[in-house]
Every structure is written in structure tokens, then in C-alpha cells.
Amino acid sequence: MWSTARDVAAGDLVIVWQTRELIQPLLITPGKDFNSRFGYYRHADIVGIPYGSKVGSRNGRGFIHVLRPTPELWTMALPHRTQILYLADIAFITSWLDIKHGSRVIEAGTGSGSFSHSIARTIGSAGHLWSYEFHEARANKAREEFSLHGMADIVTLTHRNVCKDGFTVEDTVDAVFLDLPAPWDAIEHAKKALKKNVPTRICCFSPCMEQVLRTVSALNDSGFTDITMFESLLRPHEVHQIAPQPLAYAIEKLKKSEQKREEKRQNQIARSSKRKRDDLPETDAENAGGKRFKTQESAGDDVRAFDIPDPVVDQPANQPVKMSVSKACPEVRGHTSYLTFARLVPAAPATNRQ
């Protein structure tokens, strides 16, 4: 798959990394230019540079990184013709379907080929992927890409409605992956394609629970076992650099924070006692007892250690001035789909009873 050479050559497909949100494939064609908001570049200037290089634009508007394609980068850069599978799901499915070097696999539909690229790398030339797509233009485009990316010997792409016409192989594959609107209509066909002499596996990728329920019923009816459903969510962490603080400073900050908290508590108690002495009715919020004050504090203007301004830290010249810390993103990217897995176990040989 793709070039394994150290340097970029004319005709190579490279991945142009501009920002985390702007990653594009580019076929290096000397004579052409590449233009983006980060400047303009001549393809000819990219020929001969090592993969991974940072390239400055000709008009000084910015720079790009020129990367060797991998299935992971291809998933981030590929032209979307459909919704696609992303890496968290691809990795999880590969693992739970036990897809490895030499595996024989079916996928339907091909879509934009995101899943296909990762699977082709995992199974290698010792394995095979039968991929099915009923949208003709999409099938042709994916076939063209598989050939351009050196996967033609590993992937057989068939233009076909698998729910109606089934698969082109029988008793052949170790695993089936269905990313279809109605996977339940393809489950009996999948059963025929799976090997009969060893345990095999299936996964159906569906965005809503109604689809999962129909899939589970169809899997049960077809004799699949170990039916399990997962949802995979990514929780990214952001890494920031902050100025390191001496331990003594952190302790001092905590002490000041505690002191402020205590002063506030004492003030509130004093106000409450005064009201009692003056025979004023208590409000709910000011009802006696430390617990309620605590609640008020935590719901409102709690004083935190980081409210105190940072001191100027005297750093010896030979010490690093920044350190990296990571923080989990408060929002986890939403649900993509449910993954329903099941297993097909070979039927026990019939025993001759006398």
C-alpha cells in the first residue's frame, strides 16, 4: 500500500497536514500547484523531500507537513461519499471480529472505503477482503482508489445488493462486517458465506436501537450465539503547557484558599447569630448548621486556589520554564453507532444413536 520509500516521488499520493481539521490527500504531479489558505506550493518542490517534512509556502503565507499515507491518515483525509467509520470503531471491530494477518473478511457496504483500508492493512496479502456496494458510482470510485493505493490484490469489490442477492462466496470467510441500513436482511446470506468448520464472527453497525433490536432477532433466528452490543466513545485529553510552580507555592495557595473559606464561614455564622439575637425570622438558606453554609459555598462563589494570582517564579536559567499537563475534555464526542457482535459456532456432529 502506498509508497514505502523515504522520499516523495512524482506520482505518489501524500497526505497534506495543514491543521487538525484540514488534512487532504494530494497526488504529486510536477507542473501542478497546490493552493490553500496556508499559501501556494509547487508539486515539483515536494518531489525528493523526505516524508514527514515541513514545507514552507512560496508566498510566505504558511507551511504544510507532507506525510506518508496510512489507513489512519486516510480515514482523516479521504473524500466523504458517505458517512464513514472512524478509528475508535474500526479498532474495536477489528479486535472483536478477531481480524488478523491472513483473515478472510466480508464487508458491506463499501461506502467511502474507510473501513476497507484498515482491514486491507491488517489482513495483508495473505488474507482477502470481499467488499460489496450497491451504489454503482460509489463502487467504481472505491475500486479506482483501491487500485491506486495498491490494494487491488487484497480487495475484491462487487457492485451488488447484498440484502437481495447475497454474497459471492460460500463457506469461505472468518468474519463479516455489515454497515447497512437493514443488516437483518443480509444475516442469512452472511451465514452462508462464513466458514462452517471453525467458529466465526459477525458485527453489525447501526445508529439506532430499533435497528439493533431487529438485528438481534435476526441473529437469534439464524443460530448465532454470544450476541453482545457495544457503543464506543472517545474521551480526548487536551495537553497544555503551564509554568511549573514550586511545591511551597502550591501549599501557600491552598492555605490561603482554606483561610478565605473559613473567614467566609465565620462571617455567615456571625450574621445568622445576629439575626437570631435581633429576633428576625430565619430564611431557609440561613438555617443554622454548618452543612447548609457548605452547600451555599459550593453552589456559589467558592474560592478556589487558582483564583489567587500567580507569583513571579524565579526560575534558574537552566531549568525548563514550562511543563505539560493534560485535561480531559468536558464534552465527549457523541454517539456514532451501536456495534452488535455475534458468533457462529460449527454445529456439533450428529451422533449415531442405536
Part of the chain binding ligand SAM (CB under 6 A), chosen from 28-36, 112-120, 225-233, 259-267: 112-120
Residue 145 is assigned to a ligand binding site: no
**Per-residue x/- mask for ligand SAM, residues 237 to 276, rule CB under 6 A?**
----------------------------------------
Total residues at the site for ligand SAM (CB under 6 A)? 22
For 13, the grid coordinates are: 499520493
Report how far residue 231's alpha carbon sits from residue 220's, in angstroms, rounded to the nearest whole number: 20
Q: Least separation, in Å, of the C-beta of 125 and ligand SAM?
A: 21
Using the minimum distance from each CB to ligand SAM, give the nearer residue, 185 or 252. Answer: 185
Residue 179 is assigned to a ligand binding site: yes
The DSSP symbol for 294 reads H
Number of Cβ within 10 Å of residue 161's Cβ equals 16
135 is an interface residue for ligand SAM by CB under 6 A: yes
* Residue found under cell 512560496: 58
The H or E element containing residue 274 is helix 247-277
111 is an interface residue for ligand SAM by CB under 6 A: yes
Contacting ligand SAM within 176-205 (CB under 6 A): 179-181
Among 71, 113, 127, 183, binds ligand SAM (CB under 6 A): 113
152 is an interface residue for ligand SAM by CB under 6 A: no
1 is an interface residue for ligand SAM by CB under 6 A: no
The H or E element containing residue 131 is strand 128-133
Q: Least separation, in Å, of the C-beta of 192 and ligand SAM?
A: 15
109 is an interface residue for ligand SAM by CB under 6 A: yes
156 is an interface residue for ligand SAM by CB under 6 A: no
Q: Least separation, in Å, of the C-beta of 159 and ligand SAM?
A: 9
Among 163, 190, 204, 218, binds ligand SAM (CB under 6 A): 163
Using the minimum distance from each CB to ligand SAM, give the nearer residue, 114 or 200. Answer: 114
Q: Number of C-alpha atoms within 13 angstroms, CB side, residue 158?
A: 15
Report how far residue 228's alpha carbon sits from residue 219's, in angstroms, rounded to the nearest whole number: 11
Report how far residue 157's alpha carbon sits from residue 170's, in angstroms, rounded to the nearest whole number: 16
Under the phi-then-psi rule, with left for phi > 0, alpha for psi from -120 to 50, and beta for the rest, what region is 319? beta
85 is an interface residue for ligand SAM by CB under 6 A: yes
Residue 331 backbone dihedrals phi, psi, to 5 degrees: -110, 125
Report how far residue 21's alpha carbon sits from residue 13's, in angstroms, rounded to the nearest whole number: 19
Q: For the sheet containing 338-344, what is the strand order?
A: 155-159, 128-133, 104-108, 175-178, 200-206, 338-344, 225-230
140 is an interface residue for ligand SAM by CB under 6 A: no
Report how far residue 298's alpha carbon sits from residue 290's, in angstroms, rounded to the nearest whole number: 12
133 is an interface residue for ligand SAM by CB under 6 A: yes
Binding residues: 133, 179
By the criterion CB under 6 A, which residues form the site for ligand SAM?
A: 82-85, 108-109, 111-115, 132-135, 138, 161-163, 179-181
